[in-house]
Homo-oligomer: A and B are copies of this chain.
Amino acid sequence: MKALAIDFGGTHATCGLVEDQTILAHETIDTDRAKSLRAVLPQVVDVFHRLANTKGLSLKECSAVAVGFAGLVDSRAGRVLATNEKYEDAKEIDLVAWSTQTLGLPLRIENDTRMALLGEFYAGAARGFTEIVMMTLGTGIGGVAMIDGKLLRGKHSQAGCLGGHFPVLFTGRKCNCGGIGCAEAEAAGWSLPLVVKDWPGVSQSALSKYPHVGFKELFEEAGRGDSVAVTIRDRCLNIWAAVAVGLIHAYDPEIVVMGGGVMQSADLIIPYVESYLRQYSWTPWGEVQVRVAELGNNAALLGAVPLLSER
């Protein structure tokens, strides 16, 4: 199957022309300042035509368009249900109609982390598994689930995709989602600077020299032995591992795939989570495997074919 795919992430949109487990061509649009999805869509059409031309194909040879979107999505109705401070107009846009009119193709939309899970299931780290949890650690925290080879969705498409919003610290910080102490509010890219800012003794720490502390800076300074950085890094590791426990207790997977930008530090994170799960998760049937995602930024694009092939 050939398909068009778009991954609308936090800071850019990646458009791809895919055939089964292969990305034939792709191009990324910088959307950092795009508050409006409507403003980005004409560029997407241009990119798709360009990608098809490059490969000597016509859009008509593609079966459909698969869209991954960072937000709550109703894939059956083809609508965005809730966004998170980005593309606020997405809820008002009928993407199915847009695709029919501008590309002449049917369209299916799904949450971006669910698309990434489908990609890893179809062509990456979770091949051969049917019971899968995927966590993504980046600006936000994604946590999605597949049970018996099918994405878990529930009646309002909210089941199995809000793993970053299980409360792991009921006394914790306010989350973007409105909750309290969600994992995302305690150990994600957007919340890390808030955690660092309030940390006791941070003014004496090497972290204080950065205008913006990201996980790269945190892991580097912790590696150099800065004690505040070590403490905050270890706290993040514990939170991510606790999220994995929550997801395992919620969804009964055989594998946890961990992706997202923070997995640059996979060498540290994967063994930590593995060891934590061996000690603290309750799985009398055996041991859940922990693997780093294989497909990187391509995961959501490679989720296109399995999404479009769903019954």
Contacts and interface: CB of A to CB of B under 8 A. Distances in A.
Interface of A: 72, 81-82, 130-131, 147-148, 152-160, 162-163, 165-171, 177-181, 238-239, 242, 245-246, 248-254, 279-285
29 contacts: A81-B284, A81-B285, A130-B155, A131-B155, A147-B154, A148-B154, A156-B283, A156-B285, A158-B248, A158-B283, A158-B285, A159-B251, A159-B252, A166-B246, A167-B242, A167-B246, A168-B181, A169-B169, A169-B170, A170-B238, A177-B282, A178-B280, A178-B281, A178-B282, A179-B280, A179-B282, A180-B242, A181-B242, A246-B246
A130 B156 CA distance: 12
Nearest to A250: B250
A254 B155 CA distance: 9
Contacts of A253: 154
Contact of A284 (B72, B171, B252, B281): B72
Given A166-B166, A246-B246, A157 B252 contact: yes
Q: Which of A148, A249, A282 has the most CB of B within 10 A?
A: A249
Given A148-B154, A152-B152, A156-B252, 16 more contacts: A72-B282, A81-B284, A130-B155, A131-B154, A131-B155, A147-B152, A153-B252, A157-B252, A158-B248, A159-B252, A167-B246, A168-B168, A177-B282, A178-B280, A180-B242, A180-B280
- DSSP class of A's interface residues: helix, strand, loop or mixed? loop
Contacts of A252: 153-159
A82 B282 contact: yes
A170 B131 contact: no
Contacts of A166: 166, 245-246, 249-250
Nearest to A186: B170
A109 to B, nearest CB: 16
A238 B165 CA distance: 16
A162 B282 contact: yes
A189 to B, nearest CB: 19
A279 B253 CA distance: 31
A239 B155 contact: no
A277 to B, nearest CB: 10
Contacts of A282: 72, 82, 158, 162, 165, 177-179
A191 B162 CA distance: 28
A153 B148 CA distance: 10
A179 B245 contact: yes
A158 B72 CA distance: 26
Determine which residue in A153, A155, A248, A279 has the highest number of CB atoms from chain B within 10 A of its CB, and name it. Answer: A155
B154 A251 contact: yes
Contact of A155 (B81, B148, B181, B245): B148
A276 B219 CA distance: 36
